[in-house]
Amino acid sequence: MIAESIVLIIFVCSLGGVLLILFRKIPTLNSLPQNGDSGVRCHRFILSAENKIKSVSVFFEKQIFLHKFLSWVKCMTLKVETRIDVLLQKIRRKAQQIDKQNKDKR
């Protein structure tokens, strides 16, 4: 019985303390902006930093870097393929000329 009354007294005192703190802070809470904006974001430096971070995040979100890299690899591959094709055509022409020369000699 005594323990229950001690716990009840502590609970009532704690509840009273919370209500007292809340009652004293209500005017300060009412003066805060309703939309949650504290005015710090309006600074030019912070806005420019946010825009840079957003552009970088969009860059990685849309995988623009990967797209550009793969496009570059594709272009280089096509260039190498065309050079190899030209070299193969030259080799085939030379082989045909050598075959013709060998047939003409026989």
User: In terms of pLDDT, which residue wins out, 102 or 15?
Assistant: 15
With DSSP H G I counted as helix, E B as strand and the rest as coil, what are the percentages for the chain, rounded to 5? 85, 0, 15
Average pLDDT over residues 60-83: 91
Band the pLDDT of 79: cuts 50, 70, 90: very high
Compute the distance between CA of residue 5 and CA of residue 13 in angstroms, rounded to an integer. Answer: 12
* Domain map (residue ranges) of the chain: 1-30, 62-106
User: In terms of pLDDT, which residue wins out, 62 or 2?
Assistant: 2
